């Protein structure tokens, strides 16, 4: 399973060049294999960014989410186990969304597609794929 970090989801769906060719190929392959996922917290982050006009979507966030799920993207819920696991990430930075996304990847044994240098350089037990490559 490939778990998209929030920015990787936006880059993928908007066709932005920030998502590297290798990363795009990996994400496309995972979608074709019914193995592409996103944390529910990413939709919260995107809704906030849209509300603050830091990103622009062509449609309502709820409709956008529904369309993505209908395309085959899997949504991973944030539950108590993930929440607790997120507090136990040793030497990880404080951003709560990054903690929840990373804990989800670890919990589900997924590879995390991210360009976040703080996550890529973290010495924890998450397998990462650099989304910029």
- Which long-range contacts (C-beta less than 8 Å, at least 24 apart) are formed by 103-111? 104/3, 104/39, 104/76, 104/78, 105/3, 107/81, 107/82, 108/1, 108/3, 108/37, 108/76, 109/1, 110/1, 110/2, 110/3, 110/37, 111/1, 111/2, 111/3
CB 39 within 8 A of CB 95: no
pLDDT confidence tier of residue 87, bands split at 50, 70 and 90: very high
The domain that holds 105 is classified in CATH as 3.40.50.1010
pLDDT at 58: 79
pLDDT tens, 27-59?
A: 999 999 999 999 999 999 999 999 999 988 878
Whole-prediction pTM: 0.95
The tally of domains found in the chain comes to 1
Distances (CA, A) of 65 to 34, 46, 76, 130: 17, 10, 13, 24
Is the predicted pLDDT of residue 67 greater than 90, yes or no? yes
Structural domain boundaries, residue 97: 2-130
Is the predicted pLDDT of residue 14 greater than 90, yes or no? no
Task: Give the sheet arrangement for strand 127-130, strand by strand.
Answer: 74-76, 36-39, 2-4, 111-114, 127-130
Average pLDDT, the chain: 96
What is the distance in angstroms between the CA of the first residue and the CA of the last residue of the chain? 19
pLDDT at 19: 97
């Amino acid at each position: 399973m490939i778990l998209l970090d929030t920015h990787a989801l936006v880059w993928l769906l908007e066709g932005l060049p920030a998502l590297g060719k290798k990363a795009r190929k990996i994400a496309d392959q995972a979608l074709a294999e019914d193995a592409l996922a996103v944390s529910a917290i990413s939709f919260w982050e995107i809704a906030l960014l849209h509300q603050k006009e830091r990103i622009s979507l062509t449609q309502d966030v709820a409709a956008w989410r529904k369309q993505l799920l209908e395309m085959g993207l899997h949504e991973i819920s944030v539950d108590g186990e993930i929440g607790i696991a997120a507090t136990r990430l040793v030497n990880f930075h404080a951003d709560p969304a990054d903690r929840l996304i990373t804990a989800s990847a670890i919990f589900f044994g997924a590879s995390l597609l991210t360009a976040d240098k703080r996550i890529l350089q973290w010495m924890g037990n998450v397998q990462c794929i650099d989304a910029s490559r």
